[in-house]
Amino acid sequence: MTTAFPSLSWKAGFLAALATIPPPTTATSTTSTSKRGLAYLGDTHTGDDELLYSANSSLAWYYNWSPNAITTIPSSLPFVPLLHGLADASSSTLQSTLGALPSTSTHLLTFNEPDGTTDSGGSAISPSDAAQAYIDDIVPLRTDSSREWLISHPATTGSDSGLSWLREFNASCWEIDAENGCPLDFVALHWYGDFAGLASWLGTLYEFYVTNGTSSSSSSSSQNLTFWITEMALPQASADETLAMMNQSLSYLDSLSYVEAYAWYGTDRKSSSWDGYTGGNVAVFTSGGALTDVGALYLGGEKDGFKAGMKGAAGRGFGVSWAAAVLATVGFALSMS
Protein backbone atom coordinates (compact mmCIF):
# COMPACT_ATOMS: atom_id res chain seq x y z
CA MET A 1 0.00 0.00 0.00
CA THR A 2 1.10 3.43 -0.69
CA THR A 3 0.54 6.19 1.77
CA ALA A 4 0.10 7.27 5.33
CA PHE A 5 -3.28 8.50 6.45
CA PRO A 6 -4.66 10.16 9.55
CA SER A 7 -5.24 7.54 12.23
CA LEU A 8 -8.64 8.98 13.11
CA SER A 9 -11.09 6.20 12.38
CA TRP A 10 -14.77 6.59 11.66
CA LYS A 11 -15.87 5.31 15.04
CA ALA A 12 -13.20 7.14 16.96
CA GLY A 13 -14.18 10.34 15.20
CA PHE A 14 -17.82 9.77 15.87
CA LEU A 15 -17.31 8.91 19.54
CA ALA A 16 -14.94 11.83 20.03
CA ALA A 17 -17.54 14.11 18.51
CA LEU A 18 -20.21 12.63 20.76
CA ALA A 19 -18.08 13.40 23.77
CA THR A 20 -17.95 17.08 22.92
CA ILE A 21 -21.57 17.73 22.05
CA PRO A 22 -24.60 17.42 24.29
CA PRO A 23 -26.04 13.91 23.98
CA PRO A 24 -28.90 14.05 21.46
CA THR A 25 -32.20 12.82 22.82
CA THR A 26 -32.41 10.16 20.15
CA ALA A 27 -28.93 8.64 20.52
CA THR A 28 -28.49 5.08 21.77
CA SER A 29 -25.64 2.64 21.82
CA THR A 30 -27.13 1.13 18.65
CA THR A 31 -26.43 4.33 16.79
CA SER A 32 -22.74 4.57 17.56
CA THR A 33 -21.85 1.01 16.51
CA SER A 34 -24.06 0.59 13.47
CA LYS A 35 -22.58 0.75 9.97
CA ARG A 36 -25.96 1.50 8.48
CA GLY A 37 -26.59 4.74 6.61
CA LEU A 38 -29.40 6.66 5.05
CA ALA A 39 -29.13 7.44 1.35
CA TYR A 40 -31.38 10.48 1.36
CA LEU A 41 -33.61 10.78 -1.68
CA GLY A 42 -35.80 13.65 -0.59
CA ASP A 43 -38.36 12.10 1.79
CA THR A 44 -39.76 15.03 3.78
CA HIS A 45 -42.63 13.30 5.59
CA THR A 46 -42.57 14.07 9.31
CA GLY A 47 -44.02 10.68 10.24
CA ASP A 48 -41.25 8.89 8.30
CA ASP A 49 -38.63 11.03 10.02
CA GLU A 50 -39.96 10.03 13.44
CA LEU A 51 -39.18 6.38 12.69
CA LEU A 52 -35.90 6.96 10.83
CA TYR A 53 -34.45 9.09 13.64
CA SER A 54 -36.07 7.35 16.60
CA ALA A 55 -33.94 6.18 19.51
CA ASN A 56 -33.80 2.55 18.36
CA SER A 57 -33.11 3.22 14.69
CA SER A 58 -29.98 1.55 13.31
CA LEU A 59 -29.25 4.53 11.07
CA ALA A 60 -25.89 5.97 12.05
CA TRP A 61 -24.99 8.39 9.23
CA TYR A 62 -26.43 9.86 6.04
CA TYR A 63 -25.53 11.40 2.73
CA ASN A 64 -27.40 13.00 -0.14
CA TRP A 65 -24.91 13.06 -3.07
CA SER A 66 -24.02 16.67 -2.27
CA PRO A 67 -21.71 18.66 0.00
CA ASN A 68 -24.67 20.32 1.73
CA ALA A 69 -26.41 18.78 4.73
CA ILE A 70 -30.22 18.59 5.03
CA THR A 71 -31.51 20.98 7.69
CA THR A 72 -34.49 18.80 8.65
CA ILE A 73 -32.30 15.81 9.53
CA PRO A 74 -31.19 15.86 13.19
CA SER A 75 -27.56 16.95 13.50
CA SER A 76 -27.02 13.96 15.82
CA LEU A 77 -26.86 11.87 12.63
CA PRO A 78 -23.41 12.46 11.09
CA PHE A 79 -23.54 13.85 7.56
CA VAL A 80 -21.13 12.60 4.89
CA PRO A 81 -20.61 15.17 2.10
CA LEU A 82 -20.10 14.04 -1.50
CA LEU A 83 -18.46 15.94 -4.37
CA HIS A 84 -20.53 14.70 -7.30
CA GLY A 85 -18.48 15.97 -10.21
CA LEU A 86 -15.72 18.31 -11.35
CA ALA A 87 -17.74 21.46 -10.65
CA ASP A 88 -18.24 20.52 -6.98
CA ALA A 89 -14.53 19.78 -6.59
CA SER A 90 -13.31 23.05 -8.11
CA SER A 91 -16.00 25.27 -6.61
CA SER A 92 -14.62 28.43 -5.00
CA THR A 93 -16.98 27.89 -2.06
CA LEU A 94 -15.89 24.29 -1.39
CA GLN A 95 -13.69 25.14 1.59
CA SER A 96 -16.35 27.26 3.27
CA THR A 97 -19.11 24.72 2.56
CA LEU A 98 -17.10 21.88 4.08
CA GLY A 99 -15.83 24.07 6.88
CA ALA A 100 -19.38 24.88 7.95
CA LEU A 101 -20.29 21.21 8.50
CA PRO A 102 -20.51 19.88 12.05
CA SER A 103 -17.43 18.18 13.50
CA THR A 104 -19.25 14.84 13.23
CA SER A 105 -18.66 15.07 9.46
CA THR A 106 -15.29 13.35 9.04
CA HIS A 107 -15.49 11.47 5.72
CA LEU A 108 -15.74 12.89 2.22
CA LEU A 109 -17.05 10.95 -0.78
CA THR A 110 -15.87 11.88 -4.28
CA PHE A 111 -17.07 11.65 -7.91
CA ASN A 112 -20.31 9.70 -8.28
CA GLU A 113 -20.17 6.94 -10.92
CA PRO A 114 -17.65 8.77 -13.14
CA ASP A 115 -17.85 5.85 -15.60
CA GLY A 116 -21.62 6.34 -15.86
CA THR A 117 -23.65 8.82 -17.87
CA THR A 118 -25.23 11.91 -16.38
CA ASP A 119 -28.63 10.50 -17.45
CA SER A 120 -28.26 7.71 -14.90
CA GLY A 121 -26.90 9.95 -12.14
CA GLY A 122 -23.26 9.43 -13.06
CA SER A 123 -20.69 12.19 -13.47
CA ALA A 124 -19.17 11.05 -16.81
CA ILE A 125 -15.56 12.06 -16.11
CA SER A 126 -12.58 10.61 -17.95
CA PRO A 127 -10.08 8.85 -15.69
CA SER A 128 -7.37 11.41 -16.52
CA ASP A 129 -9.59 14.45 -15.85
CA ALA A 130 -10.73 12.86 -12.60
CA ALA A 131 -7.13 12.15 -11.54
CA GLN A 132 -6.10 15.74 -12.23
CA ALA A 133 -9.02 17.17 -10.26
CA TYR A 134 -8.54 14.67 -7.44
CA ILE A 135 -4.90 15.70 -7.05
CA ASP A 136 -5.54 19.43 -7.48
CA ASP A 137 -8.72 19.88 -5.44
CA ILE A 138 -9.38 16.86 -3.24
CA VAL A 139 -6.05 15.51 -1.97
CA PRO A 140 -5.23 18.85 -0.22
CA LEU A 141 -8.38 18.42 1.88
CA ARG A 142 -6.78 15.42 3.64
CA THR A 143 -4.13 17.57 5.22
CA ASP A 144 -5.76 21.00 5.27
CA SER A 145 -4.61 22.96 8.29
CA SER A 146 -8.13 23.97 9.26
CA ARG A 147 -9.72 20.54 8.88
CA GLU A 148 -8.50 17.11 7.80
CA TRP A 149 -10.93 14.96 5.81
CA LEU A 150 -10.85 11.22 5.28
CA ILE A 151 -11.38 10.86 1.54
CA SER A 152 -12.55 8.11 -0.78
CA HIS A 153 -11.67 7.39 -4.35
CA PRO A 154 -14.58 7.92 -6.80
CA ALA A 155 -17.35 5.30 -6.58
CA THR A 156 -17.80 3.71 -9.99
CA THR A 157 -20.68 1.56 -11.20
CA GLY A 158 -20.38 -2.04 -10.00
CA SER A 159 -19.23 -3.43 -13.33
CA ASP A 160 -16.24 -4.31 -15.52
CA SER A 161 -16.32 -0.80 -16.91
CA GLY A 162 -16.08 0.50 -13.34
CA LEU A 163 -12.98 -1.61 -12.71
CA SER A 164 -11.39 -0.51 -15.99
CA TRP A 165 -12.10 3.09 -15.07
CA LEU A 166 -10.37 2.64 -11.69
CA ARG A 167 -7.32 1.04 -13.37
CA GLU A 168 -7.00 3.98 -15.77
CA PHE A 169 -7.62 6.46 -12.96
CA ASN A 170 -4.83 4.88 -10.93
CA ALA A 171 -2.48 4.95 -13.92
CA SER A 172 -3.24 8.64 -14.51
CA CYS A 173 -2.72 9.40 -10.83
CA TRP A 174 0.80 7.98 -10.89
CA GLU A 175 1.58 9.72 -14.19
CA ILE A 176 0.61 13.06 -12.66
CA ASP A 177 2.18 12.47 -9.26
CA ALA A 178 4.88 9.80 -9.49
CA GLU A 179 5.51 9.96 -5.75
CA ASN A 180 2.04 9.76 -4.26
CA GLY A 181 -0.47 8.78 -6.92
CA CYS A 182 -3.95 9.50 -5.57
CA PRO A 183 -3.89 8.79 -1.83
CA LEU A 184 -7.14 7.67 -0.21
CA ASP A 185 -8.50 6.69 3.18
CA PHE A 186 -11.41 4.53 2.15
CA VAL A 187 -12.97 2.89 -0.89
CA ALA A 188 -16.56 3.66 -1.90
CA LEU A 189 -18.51 1.28 -4.12
CA HIS A 190 -21.97 0.72 -5.56
CA TRP A 191 -23.79 -2.51 -6.21
CA TYR A 192 -27.14 -3.26 -7.87
CA GLY A 193 -27.91 -6.94 -8.10
CA ASP A 194 -28.03 -10.11 -6.03
CA PHE A 195 -26.09 -10.95 -2.90
CA ALA A 196 -23.54 -13.15 -4.67
CA GLY A 197 -22.77 -10.29 -7.03
CA LEU A 198 -22.35 -7.87 -4.13
CA ALA A 199 -19.90 -10.20 -2.38
CA SER A 200 -18.03 -10.73 -5.62
CA TRP A 201 -17.74 -7.01 -6.49
CA LEU A 202 -16.59 -6.18 -2.98
CA GLY A 203 -14.07 -9.02 -3.24
CA THR A 204 -12.79 -7.71 -6.58
CA LEU A 205 -12.21 -4.23 -5.17
CA TYR A 206 -10.59 -5.68 -2.05
CA GLU A 207 -8.21 -7.59 -4.31
CA PHE A 208 -7.57 -4.48 -6.42
CA TYR A 209 -6.86 -2.14 -3.51
CA VAL A 210 -5.57 -4.39 -0.73
CA THR A 211 -4.26 -7.74 -2.02
CA ASN A 212 -2.69 -6.35 -5.18
CA GLY A 213 -2.26 -2.82 -3.87
CA THR A 214 0.09 -3.93 -1.10
CA SER A 215 2.87 -4.89 -3.47
CA SER A 216 2.94 -1.38 -4.90
CA SER A 217 3.93 0.20 -1.60
CA SER A 218 6.10 3.21 -2.21
CA SER A 219 6.03 4.37 1.37
CA SER A 220 7.10 2.83 4.67
CA SER A 221 3.76 3.51 6.32
CA SER A 222 0.97 1.07 5.73
CA GLN A 223 -2.67 1.87 5.65
CA ASN A 224 -5.77 -0.06 6.57
CA LEU A 225 -8.27 0.79 3.91
CA THR A 226 -11.90 0.51 4.85
CA PHE A 227 -14.76 -0.09 2.43
CA TRP A 228 -18.07 1.74 2.16
CA ILE A 229 -20.93 0.43 0.03
CA THR A 230 -22.69 3.74 -0.57
CA GLU A 231 -25.39 2.42 -2.90
CA MET A 232 -26.76 -1.10 -2.94
CA ALA A 233 -30.04 -2.75 -3.78
CA LEU A 234 -31.62 -5.61 -5.66
CA PRO A 235 -33.52 -3.75 -8.38
CA GLN A 236 -36.72 -4.93 -10.06
CA ALA A 237 -37.23 -8.00 -7.88
CA SER A 238 -40.16 -9.25 -5.82
CA ALA A 239 -40.64 -8.00 -2.27
CA ASP A 240 -39.57 -11.40 -0.86
CA GLU A 241 -36.44 -11.61 -2.98
CA THR A 242 -35.52 -8.04 -2.08
CA LEU A 243 -35.95 -8.73 1.63
CA ALA A 244 -33.87 -11.91 1.44
CA MET A 245 -31.08 -10.11 -0.43
CA MET A 246 -31.04 -7.30 2.11
CA ASN A 247 -31.06 -9.71 5.02
CA GLN A 248 -28.13 -11.71 3.70
CA SER A 249 -26.20 -8.60 2.71
CA LEU A 250 -26.61 -6.86 6.08
CA SER A 251 -25.34 -9.91 8.02
CA TYR A 252 -22.43 -10.31 5.64
CA LEU A 253 -21.38 -6.65 5.66
CA ASP A 254 -21.79 -6.40 9.43
CA SER A 255 -19.45 -9.38 9.81
CA LEU A 256 -16.59 -7.93 7.72
CA SER A 257 -14.22 -5.79 9.76
CA TYR A 258 -12.95 -3.90 6.72
CA VAL A 259 -16.49 -2.78 5.83
CA GLU A 260 -17.01 0.40 7.80
CA ALA A 261 -20.33 1.61 6.43
CA TYR A 262 -23.07 0.87 3.94
CA ALA A 263 -26.27 2.44 2.66
CA TRP A 264 -29.28 0.80 1.06
CA TYR A 265 -30.65 2.61 -1.99
CA GLY A 266 -32.62 4.49 -0.89
CA THR A 267 -34.49 5.69 2.12
CA ASP A 268 -37.79 6.83 0.67
CA ARG A 269 -41.37 5.87 -0.07
CA LYS A 270 -42.54 3.47 -2.75
CA SER A 271 -43.71 5.19 -5.96
CA SER A 272 -41.08 7.88 -5.72
CA SER A 273 -39.60 9.23 -8.93
CA TRP A 274 -36.49 7.04 -8.76
CA ASP A 275 -38.21 3.68 -8.64
CA GLY A 276 -38.55 3.51 -12.41
CA TYR A 277 -35.00 2.12 -12.28
CA THR A 278 -34.92 0.16 -9.03
CA GLY A 279 -38.55 -0.90 -8.86
CA GLY A 280 -40.64 0.00 -5.83
CA ASN A 281 -39.72 -3.02 -3.69
CA VAL A 282 -36.47 -1.45 -2.52
CA ALA A 283 -38.50 1.24 -0.72
CA VAL A 284 -38.30 1.56 3.04
CA PHE A 285 -41.83 2.99 3.29
CA THR A 286 -45.04 2.26 1.40
CA SER A 287 -46.52 5.14 -0.57
CA GLY A 288 -48.70 5.77 2.50
CA GLY A 289 -45.74 6.02 4.90
CA ALA A 290 -45.87 2.61 6.60
CA LEU A 291 -42.63 0.66 7.05
CA THR A 292 -42.17 -2.09 4.47
CA ASP A 293 -40.57 -5.41 5.49
CA VAL A 294 -37.34 -4.09 4.02
CA GLY A 295 -37.70 -0.84 5.96
CA ALA A 296 -38.40 -2.59 9.26
CA LEU A 297 -35.35 -4.82 8.80
CA TYR A 298 -33.11 -1.90 7.84
CA LEU A 299 -34.04 0.15 10.91
CA GLY A 300 -33.19 -2.79 13.18
CA GLY A 301 -36.02 -5.32 12.87
CA GLU A 302 -38.43 -6.64 15.47
CA LYS A 303 -35.76 -6.92 18.18
CA ASP A 304 -35.53 -3.13 18.12
CA GLY A 305 -39.27 -2.63 17.83
CA PHE A 306 -39.62 -2.09 14.05
CA LYS A 307 -42.39 -4.01 12.28
CA ALA A 308 -43.78 -3.75 8.76
CA GLY A 309 -46.88 -1.54 8.74
CA MET A 310 -45.65 0.81 11.51
CA LYS A 311 -46.03 4.53 10.96
CA GLY A 312 -44.59 7.52 12.77
CA ALA A 313 -47.04 9.45 14.92
CA ALA A 314 -47.47 12.21 12.32
CA GLY A 315 -48.12 9.51 9.71
CA ARG A 316 -50.89 8.05 11.88
CA GLY A 317 -52.80 11.34 11.76
CA PHE A 318 -51.37 13.00 14.87
CA GLY A 319 -49.91 15.51 12.42
CA VAL A 320 -53.43 16.71 11.79
CA SER A 321 -54.24 17.15 15.45
CA TRP A 322 -50.84 18.81 15.93
CA ALA A 323 -51.74 21.27 13.15
CA ALA A 324 -55.13 21.81 14.80
CA ALA A 325 -53.39 22.53 18.10
CA VAL A 326 -51.13 25.07 16.39
CA LEU A 327 -54.12 26.71 14.76
CA ALA A 328 -55.95 26.79 18.09
CA THR A 329 -52.89 28.39 19.72
CA VAL A 330 -52.57 30.94 16.93
CA GLY A 331 -56.30 31.64 17.19
CA PHE A 332 -55.91 32.09 20.95
CA ALA A 333 -52.95 34.44 20.50
CA LEU A 334 -54.89 36.45 17.91
CA SER A 335 -57.95 36.70 20.15
CA MET A 336 -55.70 38.01 22.94
CA SER A 337 -54.13 40.72 20.78
**Binding residues for ligand NAG (CB under 6 A):** 56, 170-171, 174, 204, 207-209, 212-213, 216, 222-224, 243, 247, 297, 303-305
Is 133 or 243 the residue whose CB approaches ligand NAG more closely?
Answer: 243
Residue nearest to ligand NAG (CB): 305
What is the Cα–Cα distance from 288 to 271, expressed in whole angstroms?
A: 10
Min dist. Cβ of residue 158 to ligand NAG (A): 13
The least CB distance from residue 205 to ligand NAG, in Å, is 7
Judged by CB, which is closer to ligand NAG: 144, or 302?
Answer: 302
26 neighbors 3 (Cβ within 8 angstroms) = no
Measured distance CA(34)–CA(59) in Å, rounded:
7
The CB-of-177 to ligand NAG minimum distance in angstroms stands at 11
CB of 29 to ligand NAG, least distance (A): 9
Q: Based on CB atoms, which residue is closest to ligand NAG, 105 or 242? A: 242
Smallest gap from residue 208 Cβ to ligand NAG (A): 4
- Considering the complex, state which of residue 121 and residue 213 has its C-beta at the smaller distance from ligand NAG: 213
Helices of type H across the chain: 10-20, 29-33, 46-52, 86-90, 94-99, 127-133, 160-176, 195-206, 239-255, 275-278, 293-299, 318-336
Longest dimension (CA), the chain: 77
Nearer to ligand NAG, 212 or 321 (CB): 212
Q: What share of the chain is helix, strand, coil (3-state, %, to 5)?
A: 45, 15, 45
Distance, CA of 44 to CA of 228 (rounded, Å): 25
